[in-house]
Amino acid sequence: MDRDTETMCLEIPAQPALVGVARNVVTAVAQSSTGADPERLEDLRLAVSEACTTAVEAQRNGGSVILRCLDRPGRLEVRVEYDDPPAGDHEIDSPLRAWSLPLMEALVDEVEITTAVGRTTVRLVVADVSR
């Protein structure tokens, strides 16, 4: 993991209007740093949009969403990080599991969701990104 290079870190307010900004920034960074195939970029763009939408929905009382792009040999990793919903609010988990997660899994090579100390990270990986 020491060969990872963080090429971008973006923190946005958890607002629906900014999901488009987040996905466009990630797509631009991925395109400039990897020269990835346009179809792969579109898949990544849609997966990032799903992860960001879920993060925004979890942040009902404000908060922020952090996006990180990591350039790894032969792969691009995007991490979407956000605070978990308040205790007892399980409505957010259902859409993530029922719709967003299967869609993200169909679009990228790896999806991993981890929760630690009240924070969720959605890790999206696209392998063989170069043309």
Predicted local distance difference test score (pLDDT) of residue 2: 45
| pLDDT computed for residue 80 by the predictor | 96
Predicted local confidence at residue 86, as pLDDT: 61
pLDDT tens readout for residues 41-95: 899 999 999 999 989 888 877 899 999 999 887 888 999 999 877 655 545 455 5
Give the CATH number of domain 5-127; options: 2.40.40.20, 3.20.20.210, 3.30.565.10, 3.40.50.150.
3.30.565.10
Mean pLDDT of the chain: 84
Q: Would the pTM of this model clear 0.95, i.e. be above it?
A: no
CB atoms within 10 A of CB 92: 20
Contact 75, 12 (CB under 8 A): no
Which one has a higher pLDDT value, 86 or 1?
86
| Torsion, Cα of 101, 70, 27, 57 (10° steps) | 40
How many CA atoms are closer than 13 Å to the CA of 57, on its beta-carbon side? 15
CA torsion, ordered 21, 23, 26, 30, to nearest 10 deg: -130
Which residue in 122, 126, 99, 105 sits closest to 44, CA to CA?
Answer: 126
